[in-house]
Structure 1
Amino acid sequence: MTTTHGRPRRRPHLTARARLTLLYAGLFALSGAAVATVIMTLTFTPVTPDGTPSKVTELRKATAIPSGKPTPSLAELNRAEEQIRVKEAARRELRDRIVGSSVIAIGAMTLASAGLGWLMAGRVLRPVHVVSDTARRLSQRNLDQRIPVSGPHDEMRELAETFNSMLDRLETAFEAQRRFAANASHELRGPMTTSRTLVEVAAATPGASPDLGVLAGQLKQVLSRQDRIVEGLLALARSEHGTTTLQPVRLDLLARDALDRRAAELAERSISVRAELRAGTVSGDPTLLELLVDNLVRNAVRHNHSEGVVWVRTDGPTILVENTGDPVSDERLRELVEPFRRGRQDRVYGSGGAGLGLAIVDAVSRAHGGRFTLAPRPGGGVRALVTGPADISA
């Protein structure tokens, strides 16, 4: 593979339709050349066996060797030679014309076969394009779409039926996940709410010992942490299932609200904020997008130095959040997008978050057709960038 400026240069890519067209045209050209060769060989091969003397040679031998028979005169010999030369010239001219005509005819028919092959290949590959177009349009919101199946029972129809069967299984699986998320939300929140209520009632009981109050406070912290984990898992599952609600959402307003909610923590740790919030409206789920922006800002504040800086910039469908902090390697950044990864810890022990923030950001961005990227910031810290599909206010 050749290179350009040290970078590998890709070989030209031919589509299946182009390859089939070239195959049709090549086979026709080879067949035409073979037929023309056979015709030329059969037409211009001498009929007399090899070694048979020509008429002129026979006449000259008869003249040179007296045999008592009438010998041809010199004029007859000359006429015979002239006739042979005329016939040979006619044969050469006919051969040249046939060769030229064959080349022109084969070339023209090869071009015609290439055009017909292009049309035929397009017709043969049309079901494949239908399958690929349907697969490209599919998302978790429209898994009910199917490929229309018609025509004879051939390989193309079998491909469409197999793809439809796969869509049936996918739709069933996603529906089961949606039901599980809804049931888990109901089943988990009820006992946790009951446990929190019992702890609060026990702590507020008249005459309760101080140890009981301390224990109740610790249990409330544990329950709050469990509640955050459950909410994060449900939000992650919901975002993985795609967006079912599409509304105009202002990312700059979401970023401003997220910064306002962190005002106390920012002031307590003397972290300064440099915000550049440009108006832009995108189409998406308001709840999920609010969760995305809040998680970005919260991570930038929580994993920051005291007296550090947080940069927040929105521009249409794009939001960029940067912070100061410890240097982070590229490998570690890839791990931070995985669930239950937080800072230098692999699990969620301690008083930090649930370790799901960046995983939720990645899932929400993908559910909206966007892209989430993390990069180390020069001097320490992280640069988080989310690009959406489009700015509907533009």
Structure 2
Amino acid sequence: MFGLRRGTVSARFTILYASVFLGSGATLLALAFLLSGSQVTSVAPVGAGPAATVQQDRQLMTSSATALFMMALVSLVMGRVLAGRVLRPLRSITSATQRITAESLDRRLAVAGPADEVKALADTIDDLLGRLEASFGAQRRFVANASHELRTPLATMRAALDVAVAKPNPAPSTVALAARLRGQLDRVDHLLDGFLVLTRAQHGILADAETVDLGALITTALRQRAPEIDAKRLTVTAEVSPHAGNRVSDPVDGEDAITTRGSPALLARLVENVVDNAVRHNHDHGWITITAVPGPDEIVLTVETGGPPLDQRDVDRLAQPFERLRPAGAADTGPGLPGTERVVAERAGSSSGLGLSIVAAVATAHGGRLHLAARSGGGLRVTVTLAAVS
């Protein structure tokens, strides 16, 4: 009736104010009856008899009940108005706080007015935003600085390996050791790059946002992984079309492109990671199915792979950093390691363990989400939802 939602503070305040107002009116009427009860019959005409007195009492009671009903309606309206005025500053604070994101932590509520409870709440939120801004900034600087500083000794070690191998007639053991060390150095470098991307995505830094063709990203990712796909003899099916179920050989098709808006670099990394995950954690002669179908407001990118049955409890944890896949019922690789931390070494390969956590962070930064599901027939289904651009 008054735009109230059950259970809200506004509704409770309205009922409270109306109850107090109505109770005061009822008490006032009761006191009037009690104090004037002895004089009511004295106003009856001479000789009218008891019936007239009773009729006057009934009229008085009817008038009082009508007045009380009208007061109840008025009390509800007044209660609603008073509740709105009392809660207006809180609504302003809520609205301003909701507009503050990880990209705008420098904004403040800056509520003016007397030093009351509402201003104390706003000042407390401003202080909290200041601490969050400092913490987020320190975290970003630490990751960026640490990654930069760690790349310097990595470059030095690579140079030392190159010098050792470039010497005349290097020992075969030296060449083999250099090759193994280069592989480990590349893995560390890839891990550092993953940290930077994950931090950027988690903080929603999308300064380079533009319209991106998702089909083109899928095509590029598949081409990059072509050697591994051929080596494992994987069967890849790509169904990327604005029309659900229409299979196309090349997902890049000008006017029929499936587009979203966001950071090209982050979205490219998202697609690369889901494709890389599908290829890396697949078996020889396996299969991969990739579909991207837009709905009215969103694009659903799905990557499915075959394989052994997986435990959904382990799959649910794969979006966390350094969690890797293991088949359901696989033997433990070490004591005291629960869940997906018991990694099957041959399936882990050179993976950094950040792939799907980066996918989840990038999807969230773009207003989307990641869903992982163990397929009933074995294998994994990775579903990424992103906003569509018409």
Residues 1:229 and 2:226 aligned together: no
Tell me how far apart the structure 2 counterparts of residues 25 and 87 of structure 1 sit (CA, whole Å). Answer: 41
Q: Quick check: 2:110–2:126 contact (8 Å CA) kept in 1?
A: no
Aligned residues: 347
Q: Tell me which residue corresponds to 2:305.
A: 323
In structure 1, how many angstroms separate the alpha carbons of the residues matched to 2:311 and 2:157?
41
Task: Report the counterpart of residue 276 of structure 1 in structure 2.
Answer: 239
- Per the alignment, do residues 315 and 25 of structure 1 end up closer, same or farther by CA in structure 2, a change over 3 Å counting? same
Instruction: Give me the whole-angstrom Cα distance separating, in 2, the residues matched to 1:347 and 1:220.
Output: 27
Mapped pair 1:309 → 2:287:
yes
**Against the structure 1 CA distance between its residues 198 and 87, is the aligned structure 2 distance closer, same or farther, given a 3 Å change threshold?**
farther
Residue 265 of structure 2 is aligned to residue 267 of structure 1: no
Question: Matched residues in 1 for 2:349 and 2:68: separation?
Answer: 81
Residue 241 of structure 1 deviates from its aligned partner by 1.6
- Give SS of 2:233's match: coil
Partners of 1:268 and 1:304 lie apart in 2 by 11
Task: Calculate percent identity across the aligned residue pairs.
Answer: 41
Structure-to-structure mapping, 1:193-342, within 5 angstroms: 193-245=155-207, 246-278=209-241, 279-316=257-294, 317-342=299-324
Provide the rounded CA distance (Å) in 2 between the counterparts of 1:152 and 1:87. Answer: 65
How far off is 1:280 after superposition?
2.1
Pair 151,94 (structure 1): closer, same or farther in 2 beyond 3 Å: farther
Deviation at 1:371, TM superposition (A): 0.9
1:40 & 1:352 partners in 2: Cα distance? 90
1:97 paired residue number: 59
- Please name the residue that 2:341 is paired with: 346
Following the alignment from structure 1 to structure 2, what is the Cα–Cα distance between the partners of residues 160 and 92?
61
SS of the equivalent of 2:265 reads helix
SS in structure 2 at match of 1:339: coil
2:354 is the counterpart of 1:361: no
Residue 351 of structure 1 deviates from its aligned partner by: 3.0
Which letter does structure 2 place at the counterpart of 1:341? E
Q: What's the counterpart of residue 35 of structure 1?
A: 28
Residue identity in the other structure for 2:155 = T
SS across alignment from 1:258 = helix
Matches within 5 A, 1:374-385: 374-385=372-383
Retained in 2: the 8 A contact 1:362–1:371?
yes
Question: Could you tell me whether the CA contact under 8 Å between 1:299 and 1:357 is conserved in 2?
Answer: yes
Structure 1 residue 98: deviation in Å?
Answer: 2.1
Question: Aligned partners of 2:51 and 2:35: how far apart in 1?
Answer: 18
Contact 1:181 1:238 in 2 (8 A): no
CA distance in 1, matches of 2:308, 2:60: 83
Deviation digits for residues 248-290 of structure 1 (CA, Å, limit 9, x no counterpart): 1111111111111111211211111111113322221111111
> Which of 65, 70, 85 is 1:108 aligned to?
70
Residue 17 of structure 2 is aligned to residue 24 of structure 1: yes
Conserved 8 A contact 1:21-1:117: yes
Aligned-pair distance for 1:347?
Answer: 7.5
Give the Å deviation of 1:91: 3.1
CA distance in 2, matches of 1:273, 1:136: 43
Contact 2:316 2:373 in 1 (8 A): no
Secondary structure in structure 2 of the residue aligned to 1:336:
coil
Distance 1:108 1:25 in 2: 12
1:230 CA displacement: 1.5
Contact 2:370 2:382 in 1 (8 A): yes
Q: Matched residues in 1 for 2:167 and 2:55: separation?
A: 121
Using the TM superposition, give the Cα deviation of residue 319 of structure 1 relative to its aligned residue in structure 2, in angstroms: 1.3
Q: Give the TM-score normalised by structure 1.
A: 0.83
Q: Which residue identity does 1:263 align to in structure 2?
A: A
Matched, 1:139 2:121: no
1:391 aligns with 388
Identify which of 2, 15, 23 aligns with 2:8. 15
Cα distance in structure 2, aligned partners of 1:117 and 1:87: 45
Q: Is the 8 A contact 1:239 1:367 kept in 2?
A: yes
1:185: how far off? Answer: 2.5
SS in 2 for 1:314: strand
CA contact (8 A) 2:322 2:352 kept: yes
State the shift of 1:379 in Å.
0.3
Alpha-carbon distance in 2 for matches of 1:87, 1:130: 65
Residue 202 of structure 1, CA deviation = 0.9
1:243 and 1:368 in contact (8 A); partners too: no
Q: What CA distance in whole angstroms lies between the structure 2 residues aligned with 1:309 and 1:134?
A: 49
| Aligned-CA RMSD value | 2.1
State the Cα distance separating 1:83 from its structure 2 match: 5.5
CA distance in 2, matches of 1:114, 1:151: 28
Deviation at 1:222, TM superposition (A): 1.3
Question: Is the contact between residue 305 and residue 325 of structure 1 (CA under 8 Å) also seen in structure 2?
Answer: yes
